Amino acid sequence: MPGTERQATLVGAILAQRGRHRPGLVGEGFTRSHDEVFRAACARAALVTALLADRRRRHPDVRPHVGLLLDNTPEYVYWLQACALAGATAVGINPTRRGPDLRRDIQHTDCALVVTEAARRPLLDGLGLPMPVLDSDSPDYSALLADHLDAAAPALPPAPETRILLTFTSGSTGAPKAVICSQRRLARAGEKLCQMFGLTAEDTGYACMPLFHGNATMALWAPMLLAGGTVALRRSFSASHFLDDVRRYRAGYFTYVGRAVSYVLATDPRPDDAESPLRLGFGTEAGAVDADRFQRRFGCRLVEGYGSSEGGCNLRQDPAAPPGAVGRAGSGPGDDLAVVDPETGAECPRSRFDATGRLVNGAEAIGELVNRTARAGFEGYWRNPEAGAARTRDGWYWTGDLFHRDAEGWFRFAGRSADWLRVDSENLAVADIENILGRWDAAEAVAVYAVPDPVAGDQVMAAVQLRPGHSAGPADAPALAAALAEFLAAQPDLGTKMPPRFVRFVRTMPATATHKTAKAELRAARWSLSGDLVLWRPYGAARATSAGYRPLTAQDVEKLHARFAEHGRTELLSPER
Residue 512 has pLDDT above 70, yes or no: no
Positive or negative, the Cα torsion across 219, 221, 225, 230?
A: positive
89 and 27 co-located in one domain: yes
Q: Cα-atom radius of gyration of the chain, to the nearest Å?
A: 24
pLDDT tens readout for residues 78-102: 999 999 999 999 999 999 888 998 9
Q: Are 161 and 184 in contact, with CB atoms under 8 Å apart?
A: yes
Rounded Cα–Cα distance for residues 378 and 388 (Å): 9
Question: Do 388 and 478 fall within a single domain?
Answer: no
Q: 501 and 409 share a domain?
A: no
At 335, the pLDDT band (50, 70, 90 cuts) reads low
How many angstroms separate the CA atoms of 194 and 272, rounded? 29
Q: What is the total residue count of the chain?
A: 577
Supply the range of the domain harboring residue 452: 421-573
Q: What angle do CA 493, 419, 393 make, to 5 degrees?
A: 115
Look at residue 55 in the predicted model and tell me its pLDDT. Answer: 85
Q: At what angle do helices 34-51 and 74-86 cross, to 10 degrees?
A: 60
pTM of the model: 0.79
Q: What is the mean pLDDT of the chain?
A: 88
Assess whether 121 and 167 both reside in one domain: yes
Is 468 found in the same domain as 362? no
Beta carbons within 8 Å of 117's beta carbon, 6+ residues apart = 69, 70, 71, 73, 75, 135, 136, 137
Cα torsion through 136, 139, 144, 150, rounded to 10: 90
Number of domains within the chain: 3
User: Taking the alpha carbons of 464, 468, 472, 477 in that order, is the dihedral positive or negative?
Assistant: negative
Instruction: State residue 4's pLDDT score.
Output: 39
Residue 576 has pLDDT above 80, yes or no: no
Residue 88 lies in a domain: yes
Of 68-82, 146-160, 162-176, 526-540, the least confident: 162-176
Are 113 and 66 in contact by the 8 Å Cβ rule? The answer is yes
Q: Are residues 27 and 174 in the same domain?
A: yes
pLDDT in tens, 131-154: 999 999 999 999 999 999 999 998
Q: Cβ distance 32 to 237 under 8 Å?
A: no
Q: Average of pLDDT values for 426-451?
A: 82
- Beta strand 502-506 pairing with 533-536: antiparallel
Helix (H), strand (E), coil (C) string for 317-384: CCCCCCCCCCEECCCCCCCCEEEECCCCCCECCCECECCCCCECCHHHHCEEEEECCCCCCCCCECCC
Q: What's the confidence (pLDDT) of residue 543?
A: 47
Mean pLDDT over 532-546 rounds to: 73
513 pLDDT above the threshold of 60 = no
Do residue 509 and residue 429 come from a single domain? yes
pLDDT reading at 63 higher than 80: yes
What was the pLDDT predicted at 328?
A: 85
pLDDT category at 330 given cuts 50, 70, 90 is low
Residue pair 318/286 in contact (Cβ under 8 Å)? The answer is no
**Residue 327 within any structural domain of the chain:** no
- Residue 50: per-residue pLDDT: 95
- Residue range 112-131: mean pLDDT, rounded: 97
CA 334 remoteness from chain centre: 23
Name the 3-class secondary structure at 17. coil
Query: Residue 559: inside a domain, yes or no?
Result: yes
- More confident site: 113 or 399: 113
How confident is the model at residue 203, as a pLDDT?
A: 98
Tell me, what CATH number does 447's domain have? 3.30.300.30
Highest mean pLDDT among 81-85, 337-341, 467-471, 489-493: 81-85
Assess whether 405 and 456 both reside in one domain: no
Residue 302 has pLDDT above 80, yes or no: yes
- 333 vs 14, higher pLDDT: 14
Strand bridging mode 502-506 / 458-466? parallel
Please, which pLDDT band fits residue 175 given cuts at 50, 70 and 90? low
CA pair distance 442, 466, nearest whole angstrom:
6
User: What is the C-alpha separation between 269 and 243, in angstroms, rounded?
Assistant: 11
CA 409 to chain centre: 27
Q: How confident is the model at residue 568 (pLDDT cuts 50, 70, 90)?
A: confident
pLDDT recorded at residue 355: 77
| Average pLDDT rounded to a whole number, residues 296-311 | 88
Residue 376 and residue 516 in one domain: no
Question: Does any domain span residue 307?
Answer: no
Residue 88: give its domain's CATH number: 3.40.50.12780
250-294 pLDDT per residue, tens: 999 999 988 788 789 888 999 999 999 999 999 987 767 788 889
Give the type of residue at 251: A
Lowest-confidence region among 118-122, 246-250, 448-452 = 448-452
